[in-house]
Amino acid sequence: MEDGEQNQSDQLCSSKPRGRPNLFIWIFLVIALGAVIFFARSTLCVVGAVIVEGNSSIAQEDIFRVAGIPDRVNIFRLDPEEIRARLAGDLRISTVEVSRSFPATIVIRISERKPLFYVATNYGFAEVDRQGMILSCYKGLRQVKVPIVTGVALANQYVGETIPAGPIEDMLRFLDNLDTETFQQIAEVNIRTDGCFVAYTTHPIQIRLGTRERMADKARFASDILQEINQKKLAIEYIDLNSTAPIIKAKK
């Protein structure tokens, strides 16, 4: 009897310490979870990275400023949709996508609006993109990177607005359908009072476009002809694209 009671007492004594390791594990897990939450929500800790893709003229620092991304990045405190909405409101950006990439990266992919031409306004010059949106306005042009449209002027148009239908929009279709190499050779497009268009290259070669019809086709003709002229190093006075069969006039 005494032996049975002694064995039962020994079992009770030996079972008491078994709960302590489990308690320590729970305490450790609670502390670890608290630390993870603290670091995830803290503005003092750098967690993860933000990558910008597709920018060329807009600096990464400027994109971060517009998107509201702090110097010390904690991606768990950043909302991709909020970043997208902020950047979508910038006139310099055409499209923007924001996504999370495993394990701790946010990727911002943007497509920049690029100027297609300059045109005179009541207060100077407007910079217009291929969608016809006015990107910027200047009192004067110090450095010209894209063609200048002459012969007409925009009136009462401001940054963020789209140019109205008319001859400037027709000329836009010509420039937008040129290949990159040909576009870089165009210095000016003049819109005459009779409604005809004349482009001038940097060589200079005059390209007589005629009226507003078939602007996309005329752009492709101009690209092909100028490419051949450059390859053969021909001296050309003008190219006439007013008719269906292009006319090329050599210099005397």
Query: Rounded CA gap, 152 and 129, in Å?
Result: 17
pLDDT in tens, 93-119: 999 999 998 888 999 999 999 999 999
Q: Please report whether residue 12 resides in a domain.
A: no
- 22 and 71: one domain? yes
Task: Determine what percent of the chain is predicted with pLDDT higher than 70.
Answer: 82
Same domain, 56 and 28: yes
DSSP 54: S
The CATH number for 125's domain is 3.40.50.10960
**Residue 146 pLDDT exceeds 90:** yes
Q: How many domains in the chain?
A: 2
Please state, in angstroms and rounded to a whole number, the distance separating the CA atoms of residues 214 and 150.
Answer: 21
pLDDT of residue 215: 94
Supply the pTM of this predicted model: 0.71
Token pair recorded at residue 144:
């010209």
Do 232 and 129 lie in a common domain?
yes
Residue ending a domain, choose from 55, 84, 112:
112
Q: What are phi and psi of 51, to 5 degrees?
A: -115, 135
End residue of a domain, out of 112, 142, 176: 112
Asked whether the beta carbons of 239 and 222 are under 8 A apart, the reply is yes
Within a domain: residue 213? yes
The set of residues, in sequence order, having a beta carbon less than 8 Å from that of 178 and lying 6+ positions away, is: 186, 219, 222, 223
Range(s) of the domain holding residue 198: 115-250
Mean pLDDT of the region 178-200: 95
In the listed set 112, 134, 157, which residue is the last one of a domain according to the structure?
A: 112
